[in-house]
Every structure is written in C-alpha cells, then in structure tokens.
C-alpha cells in the first residue's frame, strides 16, 4: 500500500493548468512532456532486430537478428515500443493503471502512430485482455484505452472480444522469465466466432509494457493458431535489460 500511495501522491497535485505527466511542472497543453522529461526519455529507433525489434547500438545488415532471437525466435513478429523502460518512462503506465490518469492512453497512442507505416491497412487492433477480476477491481483495461485511442486516430478497427484471459495470473513483476512463461502459457483463448475475423489478418497487439515477452508470445501464439497472419506488439515501453524473449 505504501508503494501505491507514493505513486498516487503526485497525481493528487495534478490539476489545471496542464502538467508534465512525469515530473508535474506546468506545460503548455494536456498530455505533453516538459522539455527536460522529453529529453530524458530513451526513444527507440532503428537499427533494430529484424525479429523482435530490440534496438542495436550500431548499424547492422538488413535482416540481422539479436542474440536472443537467434537462440529462440519469438512467436510474435516484432515489438514496436516507443521508449526504453526506466524510472521515468515507467511512471506513465503506472499512473495510467493505478492513478486513473486515463488521458495518458491518448498520449501513448499518439506516440504509437509512428509505427503504423509498416502495418497493413486492414489490420486489427487487439488489446491484451485483463482477467475479469482485475478488470472489475481496476474498472478499465489500460490496453483497451490505448487501443481505442489508436483506432480512433488511425481508422484501424479494434476488436476487444477476440482474445480472452482464461486464468487470473498473479502480478508478474517480481517473477523470473521462466515463471512468467509457465504462468501465462495457456492463460489466453480466442473465441470461436473470432476465428473468421482473424483469418489472414495482421494483428496489432496492444500492451502497456513489454517485459520478458511471455504475455505477448502467449497471445501471439494463440492468435496465429486461430488464423492471424502476423502479430506485431505495440507498447509504450520495453524492458531492455532482460534477454529472454520466449
Ligand atoms: Zn517533466
Ligand atoms: Zn530479437
């Protein structure tokens, strides 16, 4: 509870005029970062791994894969993350989820738009589902909010009924990659009537943070088994310290 109240505290101070989502200084318009926080964010750009989108420090030949993907390719077809996950960037999804700063979903969607160029126009936006218990206690699914905002901006259809979470998984934050993988392996299901919607389609899988990839891979696997042609993960932040991709 102590962590939660620390997280929520700055939010109480948020009121008009618009404030920077990270540090809280007054800014020109809603959902804009101040210059210093903007500069502190580690925006992820090419060159990156051809399989998973992990950024490379140096230019590589086209089609080069990172070490983790060479060892075991992911089930998804790449991650497009706006920024690297760190103390600053993690505040945004935290305050969206636990502080109810729903406007941050719009901010994240605006940043994700840059990745749409490589996505087919008839793609489908599919948010990573929350288990109904968690949805009930939180009142909203942050991935649905981000997906809806992206859908409204781009005209790409969103389907929230395609993917469902069968089992409630405990918070994964403190778990190892292996434990996460075991827990989420069979946690998702595709509804029977959704298979016709998925057939041959490209899917944009929306999540707020990409950590070890266990959730995204579990979702991608079932979406592809159910007919999806490709699954690209769109998220706000990606953890770059862990190398396990499966
Ligand atoms: Zn700031
Ligand atoms: Zn890779």
**171 token code pair:** 């918070």
Q: Between 142-154 and 103-112, two packed helices, what is the crossing angle to 10 degrees?
A: 50
How far is the centre of ligand 1, averaged over its atoms, from the C-alpha of 26 (Å)? Answer: 8
* 5 shares its domain with 119: no
How far is the centre of ligand 1, averaged over its atoms, from the C-alpha of 37 (Å)? Answer: 4
Three-state secondary structure call for residue 217: helix
pLDDT in tens, 64-83: 999 999 999 999 999 999 99
Sign of the CA dihedral running 237, 243, 244, 246? positive
* 4 shares its domain with 96: no
How far is the centre of ligand 2, averaged over its atoms, from the C-alpha of 238 (Å)? Answer: 13
Spatial contact of 42 and 85, defined as CB atoms under 8 Å apart: no
Phi, psi of 165 (to 5 degrees): -100, 120
* 77 shares its domain with 31: no
What's the pTM value of the predicted model, to 2 decimals? 0.87
In a domain, 244, yes or no: no
CATH number of domain containing 60? 3.40.50.2020
Spatial contact of 212 and 184, defined as CB atoms under 8 Å apart: no
How far is the centre of ligand 1, averaged over its atoms, from the C-alpha of 34 (Å)? Answer: 4
How far is the centre of ligand 1, averaged over its atoms, from the C-alpha of 137 (Å)? Answer: 30
Q: What is the number of structural domains in the chain? A: 2
pLDDT in tens, 87-102: 999 999 999 988 888 8
* 59 shares its domain with 109: yes
* 89 shares its domain with 34: no
Q: What's the gap between Cα 105 and its chain centre? A: 11
Ligand nearest to the CA of 41: 1
Q: Give the domain extent around 13.
A: 1-40
**246 token code pair:** 């499966």
């Amino acid at each position: 509870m102590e962590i939660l109240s620390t997280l929520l505290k700055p939010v109480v101070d948020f009121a008009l005029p618009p404030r920077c989502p990270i540090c809280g200084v007054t800014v020109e318009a809603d959902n804009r970062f101040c210059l210093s926080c903007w500069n502190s964010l580690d925006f992820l750009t090419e060159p990156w791994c051809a399989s998973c989108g992990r950024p490379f420090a140096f230019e590589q030949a086209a089609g080069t894969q990172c070490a983790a993907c060479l060892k075991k390719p992911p089930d998804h077809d790449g991650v497009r993350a706006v920024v690297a996950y760190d103390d600053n960037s993690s505040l945004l999804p935290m305050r969206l989820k636990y502080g109810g700063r729903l406007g941050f979903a719009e901010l994240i969607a605006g940043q994700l738009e840059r990745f749409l160029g490589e996505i087919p126009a008839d793609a489908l936006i599919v948010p990573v589902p929350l288990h109904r218990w968690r949805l009930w206690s939180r009142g909203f699914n942050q991935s649905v909010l981000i997906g809806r905002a992206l859908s409204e901006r781009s005209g790409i259809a969103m389907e929230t009924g395609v993917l469902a979470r069968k089992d409630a998984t405990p918070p994964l934050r403190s778990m190892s990659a292996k434990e996460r993988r075991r827990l989420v392996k069979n946690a998702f299901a595709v509804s029977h009537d959704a298979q016709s919607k998925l057939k041959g389609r490209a899917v944009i899988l929306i999540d707020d943070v990409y950590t070890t990839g266990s959730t995204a891979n579990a979702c991608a696997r079932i979406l592809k088994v159910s007919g999806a042609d490709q699954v690209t993960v769109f998220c706000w932040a990606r953890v770059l310290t862990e190398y396990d991709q499966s």
